[in-house]
Amino acid sequence: MIRFLFLLLFSVPAILSAQEKLKDLIPDLIDHDNMGNYYLVYGDELIQYTGQSAELNRFSNKTSGTISGLDASNALKILLHYADLGAIQFLDNRLGERSDFMDFQDLDYNQSELSCTSYNNGLWVYDRISLSIRRLDQSFKLDVQSGNLNQITGRILNPVKVLESNGRVYILDKGVGVVQCDIYGAYIKTIYMKGAEQMDIDGDKMYLLASGSILYYEPSTFDFVEVYSSEGIIDFSIKSKQLIFSNKEGLWLKLL
């Protein structure tokens, strides 16, 4: 019995911190949905996998160019962004085309280079002319709009990602950190982390990638806590404490 308890005590931490290589693949983008599936982007192609890494579906639109943005937080309405064309595409849970290919120029938002899904089938876009985030409803009509974020923050922003989670909108800027707004576009605060390259939200927790480390932001202390470090991390996604990340050696899974 004593020997069993000894083995149990030392085996549980090993399981909780387990890391395994999933594939010899180096995707451009990674994301999870709310059903436990994960998604990889390679150029113009999106591949959907189960949580056990079994391939489910593929999607590619060769005429649209490279996929620059992916938001799979809603498994029933997956968003692809094509920055070169200033357009988006929505897919269903089997990567079928849920909507027509939509050009932001036709919607008078031709400078919207970033986007993410929003509540009630809405959509957030970052507009580089007004330097603001705009929420479009399910009919792609303007719902709410923030003020000029450069003026509000007192910083010259060049956002690289936008996400909505738990009634908050997060705008990542590599030179500043994360600008946080509410779902009405009202500014809340700026979380400073210069050099942050990538961002993900898992529940109410925000994670950033900076200098090869994935960091968790602790709002009670205003500090960043390192949860994992590896040389050359390209992208990552965290869902229910499962970290999937890519580096020059391939695609990896780590339990946090």
* Structure confidence at residue 17 (pLDDT): 55
Among the listed residues 56, 91, 54, 97, the one whose alpha carbon sits nearest the alpha carbon of residue 71: 91
Q: Where are the domains of the chain?
A: 2-255
Per mean pLDDT, which range of 105-109, 127-131, 140-144, 252-256 is the poorest?
105-109
Average pLDDT of the segment spanning 8-27: 65
* Structure confidence at residue 231 (pLDDT): 87
pLDDT-based confidence at residue 38 (cuts at 50, 70, 90): very high
List pLDDT tens digits, range 227-244.
999 889 999 999 988 999
* Residue of 34 and 4 predicted with greater confidence: 34
Among the listed residues 91, 170, 90, 64, the one whose alpha carbon sits nearest the alpha carbon of residue 124: 170
Q: How far apart are CA 39 and CA 94, in angstroms?
A: 12
SS3 120: helix
The DSSP bridge partners found for residue 12 are none
Spell out a b/e string for 220-244, using b for 16 or more CB atoms within 10 Å of the CB, else e.
eeeebeebbeeeebbbbbbbeebbb
Q: Find out whether 230 and 211 touch, Cβ atoms under 8 Å.
A: no
CATH class, 2-255 region: mainly beta
- The yes-or-no verdict on residue 1 having pLDDT over 80 is no
Q: How far apart are CA 123 and CA 137, in angstroms?
A: 6
List pLDDT tens digits, range 84-102.
988 999 999 999 999 778 8
